[in-house]
Amino acid sequence: MPNNQMPHNLDAESALLGCLILDEGVQTDILESLREEDFYQEAHRLILVAMKEIFAAHRTVDVVTLTDQLDRDGTLERAGGLQAVTELSENTPSSANYKQYLAIVRRDSVNRALIRASRDIAENCQKGYEEREAIAFAEKLVYDISKSEDGNSLEGLSDGDVVQKVLEKFEGIQADPNAYRGLETGFTRLDQITHGLQKGSLVIIAARPGMGKTSLAMNIVEHACLVKGKTAAVFSLEMPRSEIVQRLLCAHADASMEKALSGKLVQREWKNLWIAGDKLKQSKIFIDDSSSITPAEMLSKCRRLSAAQGGLDLVMIDYIQLMGGETKSSGGDFNRTQEIAAITRSLKIMAKELDVPVIALSQLRRIQTKEPQLSDLRESGAIEQDADIVMFINRPDVTATQEELAKGNIIKGAAEIVIAKHRNGSLGRIPLRFIGETTKFIDVEDQGRPDEEPTYTRKGLSAPSDDDLPPMDDFGD
């Protein structure tokens, strides 16, 4: 470009706007963060303003809605007319490279801002101000540019806003203990200790194989979505989607899974299953059963789901050790422990960005035979470090010998949740009962059948093919 022109790349600007028109996911990812000054050409700035107005109204940005909004704003002709808007999408074959186009646009935008600041600094210096004043002026201009590129910065407490908000929060809790209650799990004592699962928290449920990690997590999802009407994203890396639905149906209908899979259901159970099925069809549970997925892909899918559903309340991942990371493709020696550490850190960042609790399941070391503890978390101490809550499932009857069971010292079906880490509260133990035939944990006081020993479902039975819940694949990668 000529030396007298400011840095810009009109092709990159056009391509980025084209990506926004083509892909709703790109709109969700970057549209709100883009600014008019990021674009050099006036027509592109006008188009961006119209896009943001459409997006703010929760409507889809496409050629039709965009030209309509520009026309209503009275800026369609200044933006190049219908032909210019149409060419933006037609000349952009794919949105796959939008990050590269964004980087070019942002780079030129920052350089233009620095050039303008340099001119202002030069003019200010020619006025002969004292050195400290001149330096302060220059620092402020450059700092303002830096701050605009980084929304988070070190801020003091002198303005009192944050302090006042915390005090108001405490006052609200004093007046109403449930005012800031998080997402209820459906387990009374667990909700009392945790005050519900808080937004932005990473909750780890850990246990050895066969202890019921998935059952406990899905019981929480069931309560949140079928009882409280919340929206949840479930990432099942181990079980197929139909098997997750199978567990949800039997748990909510209080029907025996073994009887369902062997054709021995009674009329009452069939009725409950049909009622549960209708609830599931109307629920906002979205399941992704991809066998290989990274935290970045999960975050992208959750962003799209949240935008499409008008919000997201819970994410559940089954389980951490099956997830893929970015380490393999970055070169150097592959270290699984480092990869798990990167995954758990990404999950914590995802919980914070989405502002929802993220429940992630984790395995424990198989050599462990005593009651589980934090040192037994498999493959990485980073799981303990990044988690806000770590809870273990302890079921003595699973590891007990026949002799121990025969003596009656260990009750079959007795279970306990051990809260081993709680960043913002107390630790504790929550007694539960596990009803194996319905793959469901319940509060001890809710069982109503203290003398009846629960039975266990047979393993290796195939899941039904009918599948009524919407897949996460509908929201893309």
* pLDDT tens digits, one per residue of 304-360: 888 888 889 999 998 788 887 654 444 444 576 777 778 888 888 889 888 899 999
Strands (E), 116-251: 202-207, 231-236
Note the pLDDT of residue 460: 33
44: closest CA among 103, 88, 1, 89?
A: 88
Task: Check pLDDT > 90 for residue 397.
Answer: no
Dist CA 272 CA 99 (whole Å)? 49
Q: What is the mean pLDDT of residues 233-248?
A: 87
Calculate what percentage of the chain has a pLDDT beyond 90: 21
Mean pLDDT value across the chain: 80
Dist CA 418 CA 400 (whole Å)? 18
Task: Check pLDDT > 90 for residue 138.
Answer: no
Note the pLDDT of residue 361: 92
Dist CA 412 CA 402 (whole Å)? 11
Token look-up 């279970």 returns 415
Task: Check pLDDT > 80 for residue 129.
Answer: no
243 pLDDT tier (thresholds 50, 70, 90): confident
Task: Check pLDDT > 70 for residue 390.
Answer: yes
Note the pLDDT of residue 368: 52
223: closest CA among 197, 250, 252?
A: 252
Q: Which residues pair with 279 in a beta bridge?
A: none
Q: What is the mean pLDDT of residues 206-221?
A: 88
Who has greater pLDDT, 408 or 391? 391
Task: Check pLDDT > 80 for residue 408.
Answer: no
Q: Please calculate the CA angle 348-354-359 and round it to the nearest 5 degrees.
A: 50
Task: Check pLDDT > 70 for residue 440.
Answer: yes
Q: What is the mean pLDDT of residues 204-227?
A: 88
What proportions of the chain, in percent to the nearest 5, are helix, strand and coil? Answer: 55, 15, 35
Who has greater pLDDT, 268 or 10? 10
Inter-residue contact 208 to 241 (CB < 8 Å): no
| SS3 at position 344 | helix
Note the pLDDT of residue 160: 67
**Beta strand 389-394 with 358-363: parallel, antiparallel or unpaired?**
unpaired
- Ranges 49-53, 103-107, 246-250, 396-400: which has the least confidence: 396-400
Task: Check pLDDT > 90 for residue 14.
Answer: yes
Task: Check pLDDT > 60 for residue 466.
Answer: no
30 pLDDT tier (thresholds 50, 70, 90): confident
Who has greater pLDDT, 447 or 188? 188
| SS3 at position 109 | helix
Task: Check pLDDT > 60 for residue 455.
Answer: no
Who has greater pLDDT, 328 or 435? 435
Note the pLDDT of residue 309: 85
Domains with residue ranges and CATH for the chain? 10-149 (1.10.860.10), 188-475 (3.40.50.300)
Q: What is the pLDDT of residues 38-96, one digit of tens each?
A: 999 999 999 999 999 998 887 888 999 999 999 999 999 999 999 999 999 888 878 88
Alpha-helix residue ranges (DSSP H) falling in 2-130: 10-22, 24-30, 42-56, 63-73, 81-90, 98-126
204: closest CA among 369, 400, 354, 379?
A: 379
The b/e string for 410-437 (b: 16+ C-beta within 10 A; e otherwise) is bebbbbebbbbbbeeeeebebebbbbbb
Note the pLDDT of residue 290: 81
Task: Check pLDDT > 90 for residue 446.
Answer: no
Q: Which residues pair with 474 in a beta bridge?
A: none
396 pLDDT tier (thresholds 50, 70, 90): confident
Q: Provide φ and ψ at 34, rounded to 5°.
A: -75, 145
Q: What is the mean pLDDT of residues 120-125?
A: 89
Token look-up 């808007």 returns 85
442 pLDDT tier (thresholds 50, 70, 90): confident
Q: Which residues pair with 431 in a beta bridge?
A: 416
Task: Check pLDDT > 60 for residue 454.
Answer: no
| SS3 at position 377 | strand
Q: Which residues pair with 203 in a beta bridge?
A: 359, 389
Dist CA 199 CA 356 (whole Å)? 4
Q: What is the mean pLDDT of residues 135-158?
A: 70
- Ranges 412-421, 430-439, 460-469: which has the least confidence: 460-469
151 pLDDT tier (thresholds 50, 70, 90): low
Dist CA 216 CA 208 (whole Å)? 13
The conformation of residue 291, written as its DSSP 8-state character, comes to S
**How many CB atoms are closer than 10 A to CB 175?**
8
Q: What is the mean pLDDT of residues 458-467?
A: 37
